[in-house]
Structure 1
Amino acid sequence: MVPVLCKPFTWDAPTPMSSHERFRITSFVLTTERAASIVLFTTEGKPFQNPLVTVNITNALTHKDQLTVHCKSADDDLGVHQLHPLGGYAFTFRPNFIGTTLFYCTFQWPGWSYNFDIYKDSRDRDRCNDLCLWIVGEQGVCMFHYVTKKYDFCYTWVDK
């Protein structure tokens, strides 16, 4: 899907704060008996893990319709959720170490159904760090941009 810059939704939301902190990797251990494996450690001596990421989806449909959201990854089906107007749904996960984590969602409301990659590591890791805020409307989906303080990373719906 090609990103399209579109007019931000006129929805006033509190400015989110990101608490994302990158870990410093200070040492590693290489074991080469039968298979090679690398174990990374943080400065505290704990095994390295990517920080948790939360994706928050808000129903911004202007006709006050209920939004049905069904999100999945290759490993997890997060189930079907009904969002009332301006209602939200959030889920939290830990991206994989190799940077290929992908969550995709189906969004439905009366007469419409669209699919969208709601978290794509290569696109979103540096845009939202540990909190990815999305609003869903009739024109498409928009992600909160922490620099402009607006929902202006927008993608229009593509018909199947």
Structure 2
Amino acid sequence: MQKIAPFLWFDTQAEEAVELYTRLFNNARTGKVARYGEAGPGPKGSVMTASFELEGQEFIALNGGPMFKFSPAISFVVRCETQAEIDHLWVGLSEGGSTQQCGWLTDRFGVSWQVVPSVLEKLLTDPDPQRAQRVMQAMLGMVKFDIAGLHAAYEKS
């Protein structure tokens, strides 16, 4: 058990969210589920909390009601090795949600994600400021990241 784990407050969709996330990520598993009992506050038998793991990171989802909403002020960065991985996660996480510039998206539950190529940091921090700036300009023109496009901007002379 990790010492610190993100705790995600959903209205009533915790179980649905856990199913989506564990289906989309290759290295994922569901954990323990606690259900509401006679004392509530949720309907008896409904999911109260569900733990799950994505790529070695533990999460806990709660069906806590409509009092709190997610905000883009906190997002999950997913570093992807290939364009196929970016494409797969982009489609799956953005379905029913919305997409923004530079690899940001909000899923249908309101959770914010950044689906980025793992090579991006290396390209943006290149010692050659002109190369890094070209990558930055290319990145700012993208919604979903295109690794080939980033590399093309990097190599452009």
Aligning the two structures, in what range does the TM-score lie when normalised by the shorter sequence? under 0.3
Q: TM-score, normalised by structure 2?
A: 0.27
RCO comparison, higher one (Cα < 8 Å, 6+) = 1
More helix by share: 2
Q: TM-score, normalised by structure 1?
A: 0.26
